[in-house]
């Protein structure tokens, strides 16, 4: 992984936001403190701050860390910027989701464009996966993103389904796709995947687990000229002839849609098919055989080794939900939820970009560094990157990269002795008022 000009990362924000700023400013009646560049920068700082409150973001403005972005309005010139959060909150509400989507695409594209793949990779390899996030129990949010039903009725928290592509080497994401997980307008992960394929770099390899290893998804990717690598479910692999390859083997196949798939996707062409290879692997430690389909020309051993790195996507989701506090979105409207999700993805991509540069300096793969430690370093020192003095910014920038290069993950000397499992996540519900409890006990 290389970067053409690593210092240009300092200028990234100033390069990609002005176009959207001009469009947004046309609708404003007068010059304001909270212009689009200021609001987006504050939202990023808020997400990168461990407390993550609006008050912390306003304090960043009061401390002079965004002076270079502030417009020349009266309150700025007289140094009478209010510390109340109301103006910032209203400014966040004025920004349309479409504006945030374009700014998100531009910033993530700039980050990805600066990162070139390793020579042996030749093209980017994108990890694909989906997850779900909890939302606030608010009427408008629940109408767009209903709660999960169970045997007792509807649940409490709204749920949003979320699908994303992340770069295998650096972890830098593309803008995700999302939609309701339950209700009349519920969307599947496969539907969301077909929505985001067009955002991927040309010719990039796409890799996913068995949930995405279906004909319609693979065909859509191949139609966009993307090589694919998917795990297949056992029944699907058996229908393609995997039984003849057990315990280990591979062969070329023509994958055609089944009758059921054609019924679900009537838009498929009559001659729709994918030419690729079916690979079956049985190894010690596997609970069952591994069934893979790929259009890559690489040897089977390399394809299996590549798929072994798909687990990085699970770690990325855990980091986004835990370290960046994305497990539960706090927006009180659907638009606020979507903007919160977008800015969190941009903040995550920014930290990953810093990690990639630090890893290059240290001669390490980017995934070898700890995201949590890198995030903590950036959170502690980001104020130095916002000062007016160029020399001071440069010193802080180099110091951050040097420290991040030392934040290496430990190497396991022995395999884990406990089975891999999902950690329990406690869900806290709002407590009822005392009088409500008393009335219910009667």
Mean pLDDT, residues 148-165 taken together:
92
The per-residue pLDDT for 314 is 94
Pair (172, 285) in one structural domain = yes
pLDDT in tens, 27-72: 555 567 888 878 888 888 888 888 888 998 888 888 877 777 777 7
**Is 290 or 118 the better-scoring residue by pLDDT?**
290
Residue 427 lies in a domain: no
The per-residue pLDDT for 77 is 74
Pair (156, 268) in one structural domain = yes
State the maximum Cα–Cα separation within the chain, in Å, rounded to a whole number: 79
The rounded distance, in Å, linking the Cα atoms of 194 and 137 is 30
Pair (314, 362) in one structural domain = no
Residue 42 lies in a domain: yes
Pair (133, 270) in one structural domain = yes
Pair (286, 217) in one structural domain = yes
Yes or no: say if 180 and 144 are a contact pair by the CB < 8 Å rule: yes
Residue 425 lies in a domain: no
The per-residue pLDDT for 80 is 78
Pair (123, 217) in one structural domain = yes
The rounded distance, in Å, linking the Cα atoms of 108 and 111 is 5
Q: Please, what sign has the CA dihedral across residues 85, 91, 97, 102?
A: negative
The rounded distance, in Å, linking the Cα atoms of 100 and 115 is 23
Mean pLDDT, residues 396-422 taken together:
80
Pair (85, 124) in one structural domain = no
pLDDT in tens, 187-231: 999 999 999 999 898 889 999 999 999 999 999 999 999 999 999
Mean pLDDT, residues 417-433 taken together:
64
Residue 204 lies in a domain: yes
- Residue 442 clears pLDDT 60, i.e. is over it: no
- Helix, strand or coil, per DSSP, at residue 55: helix
Looking at every residue in the chain, the average pLDDT score rounds to 84
Tokens 């304090």 locate to 59
Residue 36 lies in a domain: yes
Identify the CA nearest to 314 among candidates 424, 414, 171: 171
User: 304 lies in which domain range?
Assistant: 98-320
Angle in degrees, 0-180, between the axes of helices 371-385 and 334-362, rounded to the nearest 10: 100
Classify strands 177-180 and 228-231 as parallel, antiparallel or unpaired. unpaired
Residue 45 lies in a domain: yes
Pair (301, 167) in one structural domain = yes
Helix H, strand E, coil C: the string for 24-47 is HHCCCCCCCCCCHHHHHHHHHHHH
Residue 325 lies in a domain: no
Pair (49, 113) in one structural domain = no
The rounded distance, in Å, linking the Cα atoms of 334 and 348 is 21
| Structural domain count, the chain | 2
Residue 188 lies in a domain: yes
Pair (305, 384) in one structural domain = no
Q: What is the CATH number of the domain that holds 159?
A: 3.90.350.10
DSSP state of 117: P
Pair (85, 168) in one structural domain = no
Pair (21, 168) in one structural domain = no
The per-residue pLDDT for 171 is 93
């Amino acid at each position: 992984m290389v970067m053409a000009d690593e210092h240009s990362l300092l200028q990234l924000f100033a390069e990609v936001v002005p176009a959207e700023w001009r469009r947004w400013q046309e609708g404003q009646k007068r010059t304001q403190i909270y212009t689009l560049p200021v609001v987006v920068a504050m939202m990023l700082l808020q997400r990168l701050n461990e407390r993550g409150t609006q008050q912390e973001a306003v304090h960043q403005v009061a401390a002079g860390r965004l002076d270079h972005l502030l417009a020349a309005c009266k309150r700025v010139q007289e140094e009478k910027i209010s510390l109340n959060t109301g103006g910032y909150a209203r400014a966040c509400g004025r920004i349309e989701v479409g504006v945030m989507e374009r700014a998100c695409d531009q910033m993530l594209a700039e980050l990805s464009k600066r990162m070139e793949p390793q020579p042996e990779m030749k093209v980017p390899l994108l990890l694909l996966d989906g997850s779900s996030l909890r939302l606030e129990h608010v009427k408008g949010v629940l109408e767009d993103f209903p709660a999960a039903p169970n045997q007792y009725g509807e649940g409490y928290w709204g749920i949003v389904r979320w699908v994303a592509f992340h770069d295998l080497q650096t972890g830098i994401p593309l803008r995700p796709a999302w939609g309701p997980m339950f209700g009349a307008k519920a969307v599947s992960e496969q539907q969301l995947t077909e929505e985001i394929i067009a955002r991927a770099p040309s010719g990039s390899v796409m890799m996913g687990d068995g949930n995405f290893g279906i004909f319609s998804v693979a065909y859509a990717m191949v139609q966009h000229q993307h090589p694919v690598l998917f795990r297949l479910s056992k029944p699907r692999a058996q229908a393609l002839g995997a039984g003849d390859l057990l315990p280990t083997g591979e062969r070329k196949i023509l994958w055609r849609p089944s009758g059921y798939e054609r019924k679900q996707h009537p838009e498929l062409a009559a001659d729709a098919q994918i030419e690729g290879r079916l690979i079956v692997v049985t190894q010690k430690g596997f609970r069952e055989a591994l069934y893979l389909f790929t259009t890559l020309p690489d040897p089977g051993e390399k394809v299996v080794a590549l798929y072994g790195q798909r687990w990085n996507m699970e770690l990325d989701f855990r980091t986004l939900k835990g370290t960046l506090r994305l497990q539960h979105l706090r927006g009180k409207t659907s638009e606020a939820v979507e903007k919160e999700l977008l800015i969190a993805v941009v903040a995550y991509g920014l930290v990953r970009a810093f990690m990639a540069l630090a890893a290059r300096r240290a001669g390490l793969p980017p995934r070898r560094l700890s995201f949590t430690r890198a995030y903590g370093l950036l959170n502690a020192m980001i104020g130095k990157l916002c000062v007016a003095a160029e020399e001071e910014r440069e010193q802080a920038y180099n110091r951050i990269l040097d420290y991040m290069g030392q934040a290496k993950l430990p190497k396991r000397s022995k395999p884990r002795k406990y089975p891999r499992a999902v950690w329990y996540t406690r869900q806290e519900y709002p407590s009822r008022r005392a009088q409500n409890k008393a009335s219910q006990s009667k």
